[in-house]
């Protein structure tokens, strides 16, 4: 049975000259986002399915700590209920150029919606706030602290908000392990006070970020 390839959604930024044309057998179509923990591309699988392809920056591919974090990101995302995040389809975090393939969530990030359209209506804000709270509960039930909840990491899909990017997520028992002394990982403006002052970090840190997001 032959599958018709789906076209790339409009508005997806094009690839840059230095970007690879394919990753893990998936054809790259454009850029969905980039950050310190990697670049996320829109890709197309052999059967035409659209996927999200996250790669570790080339400069970090030989960094043992960066690779360890990338492997943990894939493992953590797989532990979370798929109704509230992007399902991991393939874990290539052990490859020479590490990558993670997840389902493509057809919906804009909350940050983009607010930037282009302004504040949400009261009803929409309540719906998003509740949806993100449910997603956080599922993340915490999986034994994780997200640590990077912000509008850019909330996708507004047709089925409700999805919380993505477990690049700096951690298990409570390991919260003081992966980060070097004196280093606070996260996005300025979205970091709970206890993380800045070196106090123990619990799921309450995510609740603080949720309050900021709703506000």
- C-beta separation of 210 from 199 below 8 A: no
From 91, 148, 165, 206, active-site residue = 148
Distances (CA, A) of 28 to 7, 18, 41, 94, 189: 12, 12, 6, 20, 32
pTM for the structure as a whole: 0.88
CATH number at residue 48: 3.30.200.20
List the 38-44 sheet strands across, edge first: 22-23, 26-35, 38-44, 50-55, 99-103, 88-92
Report how many domains make up the chain: 2
Q: Both 137 and 198 in a single domain?
A: yes
* Domain around 87: 22-103
The β-bridge relationship of strands 50-55 and 88-92 is: unpaired
pLDDT tens, the chain, 215 aa long: 455 566 667 889 999 999 999 999 999 999 999 877 789 999 999 999 999 999 998 889 899 999 999 999 999 999 999 999 999 999 999 999 999 999 999 999 999 999 999 999 999 999 999 999 999 999 999 999 999 999 999 999 999 999 999 999 999 876 554 444 456 677 888 889 988 888 888 999 999 999 999 99
Q: Both 37 and 130 in a single domain?
A: no
pLDDT at residue 181, as a whole number: 47
CATH number at residue 119: 1.10.510.10
Residue 4 falls inside a structural domain: no
Q: Both 52 and 141 in a single domain?
A: no
pLDDT at residue 79, as a whole number: 96
pLDDT at residue 37, as a whole number: 78
Q: Both 67 and 145 in a single domain?
A: no
Annotate the chain with three-state secondary structure: CCCCCCCCCCCCCCCCCCCCCEECCEEEEEEEEEECCEEEEEEECCCCCEEEEEECCHHHCCCHHHHHHHHHHHHHHHHCCHHHCCCEEEEECCCCCCEEEEECCCCCEHHHHHHHHCCCCHHHHHHHHHHHHHHHHHHHHCCCECCCCCHHHEEEECCEEEECCCCCCECHHHCCCCCCCCCCCCCCCCCCHHHHCCCCCCCHHHHHHHHHHHC
Q: Both 59 and 115 in a single domain?
A: no
Q: Both 93 and 124 in a single domain?
A: no
Residue 95 falls inside a structural domain: yes
Find, among 130, 123, 84, the residue nearest to 103 by Cα: 84
Q: Both 117 and 206 in a single domain?
A: yes
Q: Both 99 and 119 in a single domain?
A: no
Residue 47 falls inside a structural domain: yes
User: Annotated catalytic, 148?
Assistant: yes
Q: Both 68 and 117 in a single domain?
A: no
Residue 76 falls inside a structural domain: yes
Residue 3 falls inside a structural domain: no
Residue 15 falls inside a structural domain: no
Q: Both 49 and 77 in a single domain?
A: yes
Residue 5 falls inside a structural domain: no
């Amino acid at each position: 049975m032959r599958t018709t390839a789906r076209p790339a959604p409009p508005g997806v930024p094009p690839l840059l000259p230095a970007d690879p044309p394919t990753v893990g057998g998936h054809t790259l179509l454009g850029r969905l986002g980039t950050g310190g923990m990697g670049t996320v591309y829109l890709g197309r699988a052999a059967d035409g399915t659209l996927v999200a392809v996250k790669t570790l920056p080339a400069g970090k591919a030989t960094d043992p700590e960066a690779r360890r974090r990338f492997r943990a990101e894939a493992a953590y995302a797989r532990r979370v209920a798929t109704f509230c995040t992007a399902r991991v389809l393939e874990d290539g975090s052990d490859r020479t150029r590490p990558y993670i393939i997840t389902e493509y969530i057809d919906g804009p990030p909350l940050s983009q919606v607010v930037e282009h359209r302004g504040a949400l209506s009261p009803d929409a804000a309540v719906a998003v706030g509740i949806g993100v709270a449910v997603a956080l509960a599922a993340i915490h039930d999986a034994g994780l602290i997200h640590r990077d909840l912000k509008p850019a990491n909330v996708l507004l899909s047709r089925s409700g908000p999805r919380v993505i990017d477990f690049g700096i997520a951690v298990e409570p028992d390991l919260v003081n392990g992966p980060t070097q002394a004196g280093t606070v990982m996260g996005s300025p403006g979205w970091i709970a006070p206890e993380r800045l002052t070196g106090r123990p970090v619990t799921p309450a840190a995510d609740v603080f970020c949720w309050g900021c997001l709703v506000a």
